[in-house]
Structure 1
Amino acid sequence: MANHSNATKRRRTCKTGCLTCKCISTGRTCDGYGIWGGGGNHVEAIGETATLLSRNSQHPRLLVNVPVSRYTLDEQLYLDWFHVITVPKIPGLFPHRFWNTLLRQASVTEPAVFHATLTLSSAHKTTRGDENATNKINALNEQDAFMLRNYSKAIHHLQPHLTTKDRASTRVALIACAVFTCLEFLRGNFKTAQTHLRSGMRVLQEYGNEQNGVVILRATDATDQWIIETFQRLHMQVALFHRTHLRPAFIILQHQPSTTSLNSNFETLQEAWNELNAILYKIVALKGNVPAHQIRASHATNHGTCDSELIPHQQQLQASLHHWHTTYLTCKPHLDPQEPTLVINAVMLNFYALASILCATSLSTELAYDAHTAGFLAILANSIHLWKSRPPEKICDKAGFNMAHSIVDFGWVPPLYYTAVKCRVRKIRSHAVRLLESTLHREGIWDCRIMSMVMRRVMDLEDDGLCGDDEGLALDMVPRLDGLEQPVLPLERRVGEIKVEMEDEMVESVMVEYRKAWRGAQWERVRVALTTTETRLDAVGRWKGH
């Protein structure tokens, strides 16, 4: 990376860890937020039913004509950046009311949320590329200082809400928690981000009815609904990332009337996207309910499907996916013609393909993925379309992280990651890796640089040159399905479970634990380097050297 040593030094001197614990002047230790577990505090039940917050309080109205004089010059600068750049950018594919309505409103009325948004804005704001090195370093130092000051102020103003523990205060705490989670994902403090997320999930769990790992929450108004949806999306990102080895402790769903059925018509692309994500969320949880040893012990016949009581649930989810796909294709010509539908359609179909593959293989061994080469190839084709439509980005040996392209929701990374890890056709999986290597940004917990390096190591662990090196195809070319014949990778060579230890401030390397798919395989560890001076992409995206 450019100015690598200076950047590393700045990150280390600014390391905060969990500022909820470290910035509290009282010195009280806790596990996350006080009322959300740890510190001897406990969330008190609210009301007689399992509602998240107040039945009768409504979300605050947006206050307008706020005098500019109430803000300092720096606060106004970063507040403007937040409203003009951060809010439209980082939610990802579709705007969400949590960002463009609730967070804007709460930042006007609640100091804790106000300073949390300034912290996020300052982390998201990048310096101009045409500044000289000295000016850029000075600007970054000032930006870091502003960010940490406001982080501390946000924690300070949050303390009364953690002590009061009433309905309104819980809302404020949850909003701030979501902002802190997104902030730390963007900063690359992945461990701290997951600590914040777990804290928020714990308080939601306290307010819901839990049965068999599913927490049902009742949203009594729009504010509750937006908060729940935000945590669902953040949790699904992390659960999907860890899906190859961890079962989610629980999932959160909003209460729906028993008569609710799948939509037979989508009015907007947003509606279609939300329903697809709801199905995917349940699919991610499906695999977590099957003991890994049961899958590894299943016979190789019928693609290694195990005998599980969850098969009817799997079939129901497959039917839901089929219904979604049929409805989406029928309604797509009439959905939001003003939107950039070609890009949105590519992302939508990528996640449909990913959901279909994950659902079909949830109760099976690694052999089952071989039946889905066409699905992986469809993901690759859609991703190539997205790659060609993206703004040009210069990638070199020392290229740095690109905050301008980063988001906190799903984009193109998860489908490409699963394609590279689970598709054993070398031409497809290596093409997926090279696509991710052509850009440097984050999508929540998904970091392109880290994921591409991990995927390359998994490929090496599995085939070790068995399938040859097929990386000569230009990135804008889709491999032909009829030219993908190769030997079947034996089950004993396949990596079945992967643990990527996402720590804070990972600069040089990341620790990866893995276990082969055969019965009785033990966990092994390997350290994957994240920097190299011997690899690069050429002008047409072909990988050059190791």
Structure 2
Amino acid sequence: MASTINTTLPPTLPADASGDAPRRKRRSGSKKRTGCSTCKARRIKCGEERPECHNCRRSGRVCTGYPPPPRSARPFEEVKIAPKPIVATGASVPPPNHQPVQLPPRRLAKLHRRTPPLLTPSTPDTAVMLYHPSMTLPFSDQEGQYFHLFREHTANELSGFFDSAFWTRSVLQECHSATAIRHAVVALGALYKTLEKSNESPPTSPYPDRDPGDSAMRHWEMAFKQYSNACNALVKAESAESTSNRTRLMASVLLACFDSFVGDHRQAIVQIQTGLGLLERLRAQRKRAFLSSSDEPVEEELTQMFTRLAIQAKSYDMAFHFPQPWVVRLTSNQAQDPESPASDSSSPISLSQGPIPDRFTSVMEARLAWDKLCERIFRFTETMFAHAQNGVMGVLPASLQQYGLSFKKDIEAWSDAFEHILASRTAPGVSSQEKAAIAVLKMFQVMGKILFLMTFSDSEMHFDKFTPYFKGIVDLALEVVGDEERRAAAKRCPDPSFCRHQQRCPPDIFGGHEYSARHIKPSFSADLGIVPPLYVVATKCREPHIRRQAIQLLRSSARREGMWDSELTARIGTWIAEVEEEDVSLFNGGYGNTIPTPGSSPIQMHSHPMAGGDSPCSQSHTEFGDSQWERSVSPSAVSSRASFSSARSSQQCRTIPIPEDKRVMVRAVEFDLRERSAVIQLGSRNLKTGTPDLKTRVTKITW
């Protein structure tokens, strides 16, 4: 268990003999070399905001951009690409075989007539043709390879579990006309190459045929060089009237993804704020020009992207409670002024939502409807918290429950319209990606319902009502990770007898079968997936078996989904479980407060006996406010016949409920994903801000 931070203040320094205060010594520290060129020339500290820093904007100077980090500045060769790669054991593992994309004979002959062949640099003797990214884009050979990687692989990875024409089509088209977009695309391609090289088994073994230029550090340096070029090109484009708002918004999306990829969540939030601010100004111009709401300043595709980025940033703030200015606001402070552009019913990111249909016709239709519903809920709670007088973190007064009834009905209507799609995910012809997308979307709906209903509760005990919901989230996540592991194992190790990946298997806590996910590679997605719902289960579910399942699934593979990191969330959930289960005898079998410690495998858990009917865990311990909100939460209400069959026959609880005086919530998390460290503060749920909290616990974790 991580040690608690010592918050004792240092004693006051005594005055010297003459009675004067002692002279303050100049604080020593390492010199920063990562600021913009303008601040360096002025010899002032740069805030490093992108694409132009705050000092330059305030002084009216032109921010000339950021140079790439010098090679001499790195203290060691380790590339801390996030998420942290899982290094396989065994030094005899050969490097992975990266096959170039081969063209059909007719396409190959046609391309050969147009241009000389492009050979693979690392295999000059094979003379294998690569697909040329474009005949018109001004790429060097190295940049062209990163662009090719982005188009063939990275774009699909960034889309996550959902197909996105933004990454696979719109961004690539914009590369032909926007220099900043070209550099950003190459930077993301180089980052993916860095992650791939960092995850080799073993990552730095000196093979005779290894190209010295094909190393993680080389790709890492190229990624930051191209990122710097993208920022510089965007700064220059800001002064050019020919630069379209579409290009500026698209650049904000790409730069935010890069910052999230490398673990700089603060800079990612700044990029999202920049894009939302531009959208708000465009909407204000539209209103002043008396244009109809259908005359959008940018296409719907970009609006959808910023809706999802805003949902990411808001969910991040709700989970970790960032201070200003790292909070994304969806409502304007001028909303009370009827003359202000933001006083209408629309927000800077999306228009009002129509009625939810009886049945969704596709997964994408359901996704768009859920995004808009989430955005409306966030704006509602943001407005209510601004006017609430109780000052309790994350809790609205019970008197406002009536205003939220329509959202509860909308969430349930969405679930009913999605039911047939959820049941059809195992049908023949459904692709693995679509199956995973359906499961993830249902996980978010269940999580959204839990968190919205608990917005009006000041007791952590009320989360026990949703134990069947938590079980449903874990079952769906296990389905997604299990399918992903089977596909990865079949691709990477078609013959299990020659598998050289990690042989240490996690203990069995999934009910009678061995579970491991040692073939899934570290991944990054610009879209949300399984990490946020599993984080909610790990921190809010007090049934220890389900909680440990969520933590193990988070640790099953290193993944970064937007700004959400699986290892960080797993360690936060682990520490909360340690604190809450301390000195509490949880199991009749005598397991006490044992919890998987950071960096180790989860503990061996005995399987609970299966019992028919509802689990005693699903019974409410207390009343949940207004009777209109009170509804029996049974497993059948959570899901369809196909999805949560295991929850219907849920495991009988053999645990003693954690008392309320032992339960805590996250009050704040300050972390640095690039350094892989975090300071976590826990406390009470029902105390006003500024009130002394006897439950306060602080710790620092590193990994």
Using the alignment, how far apart are the partners of 1:167 and 1:117 within structure 2? 21
Q: How far does the alpha carbon of each residue in 1:95-114 deviate from its partner, in whole angstroms, 9 at most, with x for none?
A: 22321222111111111110
Using the alignment, how far apart are the partners of 2:179 and 2:522 within structure 1? 27
Secondary structure in structure 1 of the residue aligned to 2:699: strand
The answer to whether 1:512 aligns with 2:680 is yes
1:290 corresponds to: 385
> Does the Cα contact within 8 Å between 2:303 and 2:350 map onto a contact in 1?
no
Q: Residue 152 of structure 1 aligns to which amino acid in structure 2?
A: S
- Cα 1:305–1:89 change in 2 (3 A) is closer
> Does the Cα contact within 8 Å between 1:502 and 1:510 map onto a contact in 2?
yes
The answer to whether 1:100 aligns with 2:193 is no
Secondary structure in structure 2 of the residue aligned to 1:98: helix
Cα offset, 1:344, TM superposition: 2.6
2:149 corresponds to: 81
The answer to whether 1:433 aligns with 2:605 is no
More helix by share: 1
Using the alignment, how far apart are the partners of 1:190 and 1:518 within structure 2? 29
1:362 corresponds to: 455
Q: Which of 122, 133, 158 matches 1:90?
A: 158
- Cα 1:69–1:111 change in 2 (3 A) is closer
Q: How far does the alpha carbon of each residue in 1:272-330 deviate from its partner, in whole angstroms, 9 at most, with x for none?
A: 122123223333444443379837599xxxxx984233x23421111111111111114
Q: Residue 205 of structure 2 aligns to which amino acid in structure 1?
A: A
Using the alignment, how far apart are the partners of 1:137 and 1:16 within structure 2? 27
1:456 corresponds to: 574
Cα offset, 1:389, TM superposition: 1.0
Aligned residues: percent identity?
18
Q: How far does the alpha carbon of each residue in 1:321-352 deviate from its partner, in whole angstroms, 9 at most, with x for none?
A: 11111111145567995433432332122111
Q: Which of 208, 214, 223 matches 1:147?
A: 223
Cα offset, 1:82, TM superposition: 0.6
> Does the Cα contact within 8 Å between 1:24 and 1:155 map onto a contact in 2?
no
Using the alignment, how far apart are the partners of 1:180 and 1:401 within structure 2? 30
Q: Which of 380, 383, 394 matches 2:477?
A: 383
The answer to whether 1:39 aligns with 2:46 is no
Using the alignment, how far apart are the partners of 2:306 and 2:396 within structure 1? 32
Using the alignment, how far apart are the partners of 1:313 and 1:175 within structure 2? 36
The answer to whether 1:185 aligns with 2:291 is no
Superposition TM-score, scaled by structure 1 size? 0.76
The answer to whether 1:308 aligns with 2:399 is yes
Using the alignment, how far apart are the partners of 1:224 and 1:69 within structure 2? 24
Aligned residues: 479
> Does the Cα contact within 8 Å between 2:350 and 2:372 map onto a contact in 1?
no
- Cα 1:95–1:202 change in 2 (3 A) is same
Counterparts in 2 of 1:250-329, with a 5 A limit? Answer: 250=330, 252=347, 254=349, 256=351, 260-288=354-382, 289-290=384-385, 294=390, 296=392, 306-309=397-400, 311-329=401-419
Q: Which of 129, 137, 148 matches 2:200?
A: 129
Q: How far does the alpha carbon of each residue in 1:452-492 deviate from its partner, in whole angstroms, 9 at most, with x for none?
A: 111111112222141334843489x9786342243333333
Worse-superposed segment, 424-433 or 388-397: 388-397
1:205 corresponds to: 280
Cα offset, 1:119, TM superposition: 0.6
Q: Residue 318 of structure 1 aligns to which amino acid in structure 2?
A: K
> Does the Cα contact within 8 Å between 1:86 and 1:121 map onto a contact in 2?
yes
> Does the Cα contact within 8 Å between 2:477 and 2:530 map onto a contact in 1?
yes
Secondary structure in structure 2 of the residue aligned to 1:498: strand
2:310 corresponds to: 235
1:213 corresponds to: none
Q: How far does the alpha carbon of each residue in 1:421-461 deviate from its partner, in whole angstroms, 9 at most, with x for none?
A: 11122221122111111211211111111111111111122
Secondary structure in structure 2 of the residue aligned to 1:90: helix
- Cα 1:438–1:400 change in 2 (3 A) is closer
Superposition TM-score, scaled by structure 2 size? 0.60
Structure whose CA Rg is larger? 2
Cα offset, 1:525, TM superposition: 5.9
Using the alignment, how far apart are the partners of 1:163 and 1:419 within structure 2? 48
Q: Residue 172 of structure 2 aligns to which amino acid in structure 1?
A: R
- Cα 1:69–1:456 change in 2 (3 A) is closer
Cα offset, 1:239, TM superposition: 1.3
2:589 corresponds to: none
**Which structure 1 residue ranges, 5 or more long, are not aligned?**
1-12, 43-63, 211-216, 299-303, 532-546
Q: Residue 102 of structure 1 aligns to which amino acid in structure 2?
A: S
Cα offset, 1:361, TM superposition: 0.9
1:526 corresponds to: 698
1:249 corresponds to: 329
The answer to whether 1:371 aligns with 2:465 is yes
- Cα 1:433–1:255 change in 2 (3 A) is closer
How big is the alpha-carbon RMSD for the aligned residues of Structure 1 and Structure 2?
A: 4.0
Q: Residue 78 of structure 1 aligns to which amino acid in structure 2?
A: Y
Q: Residue 148 of structure 1 aligns to which amino acid in structure 2?
A: F
1:8 corresponds to: none
- Cα 1:70–1:387 change in 2 (3 A) is closer
Q: How far does the alpha carbon of each residue in 1:507-546 deviate from its partner, in whole angstroms, 9 at most, with x for none?
A: 3x21112322243444946333233xxxxxxxxxxxxxxx
- Cα 1:226–1:403 change in 2 (3 A) is farther
Q: How far does the alpha carbon of each residue in 1:56-85 deviate from its partner, in whole angstroms, 9 at most, with x for none?
A: xxxxxxxx9942683211011001001000
> Does the Cα contact within 8 Å between 2:133 and 2:147 map onto a contact in 1?
no
> Does the Cα contact within 8 Å between 2:183 and 2:226 map onto a contact in 1?
yes
Counterparts in 2 of 1:474-485, with a 5 A limit? Answer: 481-485=650-654
Q: How far does the alpha carbon of each residue in 1:250-270 deviate from its partner, in whole angstroms, 9 at most, with x for none?
A: 254555478x32233322211
Using the alignment, how far apart are the partners of 1:84 and 1:23 within structure 2? 38
2:438 corresponds to: 345
**Which structure 2 residue ranges, 5 or more long, are not aligned?**
1-29, 61-131, 286-291, 332-346, 490-500, 505-516, 587-591, 596-602, 611-645
